[in-house]
Amino acid sequence: MAEISPILIVGGRGMLAQALMAHYAGRNVTALPRRDCDITRPEQIAQAIGKHQPRTIINCAAYTAVDACEIDPESAEATNTDGVGYLAEAARQGDCYLIHVSTDAVFDGKGNRPYKPDDPVGPLSTYAQSKLGGERKLLAAAPNRWMIVRTAWLFGIGGVSFPRTIIEKAKTGQALSVVNDQFGSPTYATDLAAAMVKLIDQQRMGNWHVANSGQACWYDLARATLEEMGLNMDLRPISTEQWTAMRPNQAIRPRFTVLDIEPVNAAIGPMRHWRQALADFCGKMKQ
């Protein structure tokens, strides 16, 4: 197998990048924040590759503010689409193994079974369209070795996430309404990072879905977070239609984007249930 070290992580200040660095402790890995490698600027990518001479590049850089993408689609496209294309071209020229992190949001949510990596896509929001655009830019540049890792509903230490928001809201004592008819795969950044490290060490190729097992709606995840934290809150389930009526300018979310993780389970061992992962996250939040 080809050498995978040194490894370069771009988007190095984000939640997933921090989790990856924790798993890569003691290995030849460098994480660069945006100021040191802005993927929307090809010259910065070239400088970073020239300096660090990576054999593997992991792209954790993304514009993930879903609702903000509706207001600023140019920024979403610059980072989530064009930036991935620049990275892919640089990886192809440098014969680097490129790993790109994408999203469950590329699916339209009209299915009724977990989505497989090769299922048809149908992004509903500007964010989702920009992320799918990044996948297609990567394929167009076609490095010799590449992997796309789609994940979903990410939470973890070191960044903004839905469970963290619920914890903060609960401390205000205010009632909160949470959607109960959108279903997905809650995923702990620590578990995603561990799985990615194993897949990278195996030099896997192609599209992979990586998430914790099980499924939940946003209301399920909110309620479970409160239970794990021992917090009381007036939590009310509402429909997507009710939520949209309250916030009509928000991005459209798909109703069902649970990911089929059977291939990754077979490759590296079973991903644990999201509720177990949430318990670990909440335990760290209590510290």
CA dist., res. 213 & res. 186, Å (int): 8
3-state DSSP percent of the chain in helix, strand and coil, to 5: 45, 20, 40
Element housing 176 (H / E): strand 176-179
CA dist., res. 121 & res. 100, Å (int): 17
Q: How far is CA 101 from CA 150, 178, 209, 218, in A?
A: 6, 27, 10, 22
CA dist., res. 257 & res. 193, Å (int): 20
CB contact at 8 A, 86 and 140: no
Q: How far is CA 222 from CA 96, 130, 169, 232, 257, in A?
A: 40, 28, 11, 11, 18
Total count of residues recorded for the chain: 287
CB contact at 8 A, 214 and 273: yes
CA dist., res. 52 & res. 38, Å (int): 15
CA dist., res. 190 & res. 10, Å (int): 17
Determine which one of 63, 115, 127, 188 is catalytic. Answer: 127
Give the residue carrying structure tokens 């809150």.
Answer: 233
Residue 127 is a catalytic residue: yes
Active site residues: 127
